[in-house]
């Protein structure tokens, strides 16, 4: 059958690639380039300290809400990702065919999650997953857009009563943005069924729902006039239909707006829209119990790009920049919604597992936090060392090492310089540079007396302690 052809092709490809490799990329002169791959970056210790702080806040929130965590491989079978991302599929990183399976780097965490549920026949789980994903997009690194970046997802899968898990997702976004203290924010909420119903009653042809939806999605970056132009001129919508959409998508409110639209002559003609509007009402009643309605807005202009949403959608935006500088432009910092059909795409029998989830826009949050740290007077510590074991005189290496080991054994974070005879000044400088609060200074006299001198680096206050670490409460309770 086709197999012989395939093998022949493989052989030809291998030969040509080998030839290409021999020819080399330039005139044979090897110029070694010392860089990371395009669109990627290293994280230095300072960035890692900020990253750790942000992750801790987010993970604490997820755990407070009873989430488990899972992990999936960084690459999936290519076919697992096929047909899930529409046009964006061209941004997927493929691995080279080195014999064996065809593989691609994961593009998000949602599709691997759905594959995981289907593969393990899991019908309900509340899980978070924080990991890197890969997109061969045009990097805009100054604005926090990379080809390798973190996603930070929380999802609830399972057949439950309407809007309860959805409300918890919004509560989580609220808690995280509040705790990260990024400035004021707003969470926009809408429902795909309301959008579809609205398109129907405004006279948008069925086959244009998705493309008109994409255009509506641009309202956060474009004026209504431009959006209308795109609808009419590019997408061939009638001016009348566009104007009717324009009226709806300018509406914002809360439970009252949903109530109002349920009475709206046109909107109420769509069963879909009514189902969505009733759910928005129910959602807001739960959000009131969760005490988060002060930041949540029902906004009919919210569309969100992804195809797989089937119900409620939401997006959180910062309403003021996190800092005075304007160079980092941040918009959306979280988004998500309900996707009841995705897991069924993986199940051999098409069994559905309803899901709702949220993705925290962690890279944007990193950018803001880094910028905040930049302008702040407070220094970011990259280690947690509590005490530096130093000596003022020469030939005390052994005593320093011994005391340091005792501190380590007592669970105290301690450092010692890797020099036989370091100068006291350079030991103290290291403390100041890395923010170590205490220095234990050993000297001949102290050793004779069986004590160590403990100095507070910032104030230069000194106290003497007996060398036995177990009776040194200052060290143990830092």
Q: State which of residues 210, 260, 413, 470 lies at the interface with its own copies (CB under 8 A).
A: 413
Q: How many CA atoms lie within 13 A of 388 on its CB side?
A: 26
CB 407 within 8 A of CB 416: no
Q: State which of residues 53, 136, 186, 218 lies at the interface with its own copies (CB under 8 A).
A: 136
Select from 3, 318, 42 the least CA-distant residue to 185: 318
CB 111 within 8 A of CB 81: yes
Question: Does 423 help bind its own copies (rule: CB under 8 A)?
Answer: no
The interface mask with its own copies, positions 19-58, x = CB under 8 A, is xx--xx--x----xxxxxxx-xxxxxx--xx-xx------
Q: State which of residues 89, 95, 234, 458 lies at the interface with its own copies (CB under 8 A).
A: 95
Which pairing describes strands 125-134 and 414-416: parallel, antiparallel, or unpaired?
Answer: unpaired
Q: CA-CA distance, 125 to 377, in Å (whole number)? A: 43
Question: Does 429 help bind its own copies (rule: CB under 8 A)?
Answer: no
Q: How many CA atoms lie within 13 A of 466 on its CB side?
A: 6
- Report the chain's C-alpha Rg in angstroms: 29
Site for its own copies in 337-376 (CB under 8 A): 346, 348
The piece of 3-11, 256-264, 304-312, 368-376 that touches its own copies (CB under 8 A) is 3-11
Quote the least distance from Cβ 206 to its own copies, whole Å. Answer: 27
The piece of 295-303, 332-340, 358-366, 414-422 that touches its own copies (CB under 8 A) is 414-422
The piece of 131-139, 204-212, 218-226, 437-445 that touches its own copies (CB under 8 A) is 131-139
Site for its own copies in 220-249 (CB under 8 A): none
Select from 114, 121, 135, 122 the least CA-distant residue to 72: 114
Q: How many residues bind its own copies (CB under 8 A)?
A: 105
Q: State which of residues 56, 86, 89, 101 lies at the interface with its own copies (CB under 8 A).
A: 101
CB 377 within 8 A of CB 157: no
Quote the least distance from Cβ 200 to its own copies, whole Å. Answer: 30
Question: Does 325 help bind its own copies (rule: CB under 8 A)?
Answer: no
The piece of 246-254, 273-281, 404-412, 458-466 that touches its own copies (CB under 8 A) is 404-412
Quote the least distance from Cβ 196 to its own copies, whole Å. Answer: 25
Question: Does 385 help bind its own copies (rule: CB under 8 A)?
Answer: yes
Question: Does 2 help bind its own copies (rule: CB under 8 A)?
Answer: yes
Going from the C-alpha of 232 to that of each of 160, 227, 237, 291, 425, the distances in angstroms are 41, 9, 5, 41, 73
Query: 162 or 232, CB closer to its own copies?
Result: 162
Q: CA-CA distance, 370 to 383, in Å (whole number)? A: 17
Q: CA-CA distance, 358 to 177, in Å (whole number)? A: 13
Going from the C-alpha of 266 to that of each of 198, 207, 231, 305, the distances in angstroms are 9, 20, 21, 26
Site for its own copies in 146-205 (CB under 8 A): 148, 156, 158, 160-161, 164-165, 167-168, 171, 175
Give the number of other CB atoms < 10 A from CB of residue 383: 12
Query: 233 or 409, CB closer to its own copies?
Result: 409
Quote the least distance from Cβ 278 to its own copies, whole Å. Answer: 15
Binding residues: 108-110, 135, 151, 155, 304, 308-309
Select from 89, 94, 95, 156 the least CA-distant residue to 122: 156
Q: How many CA atoms lie within 13 A of 402 on its CB side?
A: 9
Question: Does 415 help bind its own copies (rule: CB under 8 A)?
Answer: yes
Query: 168 or 217, CB closer to its own copies?
Result: 168
Question: Does 411 help bind its own copies (rule: CB under 8 A)?
Answer: yes
Task: Give the list of residues 6+ apart from residue 341 with CB closer than 8 angstroms, or none.
Answer: 308, 310, 352
Site for its own copies in 105-124 (CB under 8 A): 105, 115-116, 118-120
Cβ-in-10-Å burial (0-12, 13-18, 19+) of 148 comes to middle
Phi, psi (rounded to 5 degrees) for 72: -125, 160
Residue with tokens 């923010």: 435
Which pairing describes strands 387-391 and 438-442: parallel, antiparallel, or unpaired?
Answer: parallel
Question: Does 477 help bind its own copies (rule: CB under 8 A)?
Answer: no
Question: Does 478 help bind its own copies (rule: CB under 8 A)?
Answer: no
Quote the least distance from Cβ 458 to its own copies, whole Å. Answer: 19
Quote the least distance from Cβ 101 to its own copies, whole Å. Answer: 6
Quote the least distance from Cβ 358 to its own copies, whole Å. Answer: 15
Q: CA-CA distance, 349 to 353, in Å (whole number)? A: 12
Question: Does 401 help bind its own copies (rule: CB under 8 A)?
Answer: yes
The length of the chain is 478
Quote the least distance from Cβ 162 to its own copies, whole Å. Answer: 9
Question: Does 83 help bind its own copies (rule: CB under 8 A)?
Answer: no
Quote the least distance from Cβ 54 to its own copies, whole Å. Answer: 14
Binding residues for L-histidine: 108-110, 135, 151, 155, 304, 308-309
Question: Does 66 help bind its own copies (rule: CB under 8 A)?
Answer: yes
């Amino acid at each position: 059958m086709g197999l012989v052809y395939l093998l022949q092709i493989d052989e030809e490809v291998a030969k040509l690639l080998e030839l290409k490799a021999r020819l080399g990329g330039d005139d044979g002169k090897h110029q070694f380039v010392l860089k990371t791959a395009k669109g990627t970056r290293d994280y230095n210790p300072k960035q890692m300290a900020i990253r750790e702080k942000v992750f801790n806040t987010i993970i604490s929130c997820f755990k407070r809400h009873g989430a488990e965590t899972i992990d999936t491989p960084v690459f999936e079978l290519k076919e697992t990702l096929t047909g899930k991302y529409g046009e964006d599929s061209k941004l997927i990183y493929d691995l080279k065919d080195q014999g064996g399976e065809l593989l691609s780097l994961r593009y998000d965490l949602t599709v691997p999650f759905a594959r995981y549920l289907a593969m393990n026949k899991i019908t309900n789980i509340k899980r978070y997953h924080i990991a890197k994903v890969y997109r061969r997009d045009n990097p805009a690194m100054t604005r926090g857009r990379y080809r390798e970046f973190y996603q930070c997802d929380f999802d609830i899968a399972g057949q439950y009563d309407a809007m309860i898990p959805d409300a918890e997702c919004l509560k989580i976004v609220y808690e995280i943005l509040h705790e990260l203290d990024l400035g004021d924010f707003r969470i926009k909420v809408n429902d795909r069924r309301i959008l579809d119903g609205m398109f129907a009653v405004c006279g948008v042809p069925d086959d244009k729902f998705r493309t008109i939806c994409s255009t509506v999605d641009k309202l956060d970056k474009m004026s209504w006039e431009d959006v209308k132009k795109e609808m009419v001129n590019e997408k061939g919508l009638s001016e009348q239909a566009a104007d009717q959409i324009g009226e709806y998508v300018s509406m914002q409110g809360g439970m009252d707006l949903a109530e109002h639209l349920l009475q709206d002559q046109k909107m109420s003609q769509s069963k879909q829209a009514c189902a969505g509007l009733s759910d928005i009402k129910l959602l807001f009643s739960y959000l009131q119990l969760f005490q988060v309605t002060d930041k949540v807005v029902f906004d009919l202009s919210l569309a969100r790009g992804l195809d797989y949403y089937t119900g409620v959608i939401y997006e959180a935006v910062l309403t003021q920049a996190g800092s005075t500088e304007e160079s980092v432009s941040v918009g959306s910092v979280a988004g998500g919604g309900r996707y009841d059909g995705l897991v069924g795409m993986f199940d051999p029998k098409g069994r559905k597992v309803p899901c709702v989830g949220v993705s925290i826009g962690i890279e944007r949050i990193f950018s803001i936090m880094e910028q905040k740290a930049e302008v702040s007077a407070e220094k970011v510590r990259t280690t947690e060392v509590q005490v530096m074991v130093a000596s003022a005189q020469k030939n005390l290496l052994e005593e320093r090492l011994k005391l340091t080991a005792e501190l380590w054994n007592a669970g105290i974070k301690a450092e010692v310089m890797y020099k036989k005879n370091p100068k006291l000044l350079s030991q103290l400088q290291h403390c100041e540079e890395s923010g170590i609060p205490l220095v234990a200074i050993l000297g001949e006299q102290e050793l004779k007396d069986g004590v160590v001198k403990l100095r507070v680096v910032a104030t230069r206050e000194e106290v003497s302690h007996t060398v036995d670490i177990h009776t040194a409460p200052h060290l143990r309770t830092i």
